[in-house]
Amino acid sequence: MTLQLETIEWFQAAAGQSRPVLLYGMGNGAEKILRKCRDEGVAVSGLFASDAFVRGQQFAGFKVKSYSQIRQEYPEALVIIAFGTSDPTVLERITAMEQDYTVLAPDLALFGEDRSILSFEDELEQAYHLYEPASRAVYLNLLNYKITGKLSYLRAATSPK
């Protein structure tokens, strides 16, 4: 069996949206995502934070809205998570958000150039064949998450503590 990778990266999926694209979160992650969206021609319609963090502030030229406001203004949207978390309460909030919206959580480079994982396809294929079947499944899910930002792939690659 060969490595079966997704071919549409998260920003390509966002660029092809007819629905509004919204960012959830502020900070370095949001700045990187906004830059990537601008570079790839993705129009970001708005930005929001958890209700408790909204105090009428601005971020990157956007008025920061609450999730409650977003739900009223945007019945349909693609939401891009712009921060990392392991907080169970926040993870539950994101899972609930997926009931109303398509949600992506892009994997971003911590430093250096943000290169497409697909540019390493040959190397990734070689590594794939080093694993036994169960590890191959985890590896494939992690790679597809890194490409698409789809949380379903990340969840499929995790196990209970």
- Provide the whole-model pTM: 0.92
Strands 62-66 and 78-81: unpaired
- Give the separation between CA 17 and CA 117, rounded to whole angstroms: 22
Q: 23: number of CA atoms within 13 Å, CB side?
A: 29
For the chain, give every residue range classified as CATH 3.40.50.20.
10-114
Q: Which fold has domain 10-114?
A: Rossmann fold (3.40.50)
Q: From the first residue on, what is the mean pLDDT of each consecutive set of 10 residues in the chain (161 residues)?
A: 87 95 95 95 96 91 96 97 94 96 92 78 93 94 96 91 68
Helices and strands counted in the chain (H then E)? 7, 6
pLDDT number for residue 129:
93
pLDDT number for residue 112:
67
